[in-house]
Amino acid sequence: MRRRQVLLAAGGALIARGAVAAGYPMRPITLIVPYSPGGGVGINARALQPYLEKPLNQTIIVDFKPGAGGIMGFTLGAHARPDGYTLTMVTSSITAAPWLLSHIDYTPEDYSYIGQVTFVPNMLIVNAESPYRTLADLVTAMKQKPGELATGFESGWPSPDVAQVVFFARADVKGKVVPGYSGGAERIASLLGNHLDFSFNNLNEALPLYQAKRIRVLAISGSARTPDMPEVPTFRELGYDVAIGVWRSLAGPKGLPAPIVQTITGALKTVLGDPALRADFAKVGLSADYLDPVATRELVMREYQALGKLFTELGINVRTKT
């Protein structure tokens, strides 16, 4: 009797979820952005929002949830109800932070992946008035004054911070790491105010200031130079294996029904192929780099495991400490 009740309850739940999925979306969708509006993820979400609303025929509310370097927003997204009405723009931060912060209450396993939206390289930037004109200049100064040249740090370990610690290891240098930043926009403001000597930021955070000649870009991550600044060399060209960039993907909480995933995925794939969206993305230094749910999950989990290994080698993996 007990087994029958359990089976009936489970069957009822599946029917209810199927009914909800069949009519999806019936009300506005909230898209959590775990950072402040001026950062790259916020720029990306706002650029995507009007296009994605059209095929879904529903309003998308971009909900900025900055806090603890993105941890608050990622946690809210991972633990939301899996009904398709709360999505999150997840970033490569979710593959790093769980290895580095013991209080994290999520891992990449806690999301249902819908599709990749874009990939953005990281870069090392300095104020346009800085005496450091090349990466070699900066590395020389850091070796001459170890721990004195200041750079920013966000507590949630977003991709630029991961790229920064990898650069420190590859170049065998130390910087004065200043904590307390909540996004790329804050770090750039400090750099322009000469409170930081250098900063790691992603392309679309830095591109407008680069175009305005207010900053200098010394090196960029990735396997190739970017068309937006073709004269800037990659870290690898300069002898440092720093290729970590920022991918951004749509995700829901674990257990998101497959029909809902399929609905959003179909809409996402369609709009990322729209020339108008691609043109609008390009204006803010973004590319449309769609990956389907399976490929997105594979990329995330591969990076998650690779970073776990890297942080163990660097001695900063909190999961290996007793």
Instruction: Name all domains of the chain by residue range, CATH numbers in brackets.
Output: 2-117+246-320 (3.40.190.150), 121-220 (3.40.190.10)
Instruction: Specify the pLDDT at position 315.
Output: 87
Sole residue written with tokens 């296009």: 51
Taking the complete model, does pTM exceed 0.85, yes or no? no
141-150: buried (b, 16+ CB within 10 Å) or exposed (e) per residue? bbeeeeeebb
Residues paired with 250 in a beta bridge: 89, 115
- Three-class secondary structure of residue 55 per DSSP: helix
Tell me whether the omega of the peptide bond preceding residue 25 falls within 30 degrees of 0, making it cis: yes
Q: What is the mean pLDDT of each run of 10 residues along the chain (322 residues)?
A: 48 48 90 89 94 97 90 96 97 90 92 95 96 98 97 85 91 95 90 97 89 97 87 96 90 97 97 96 87 95 89 85 54
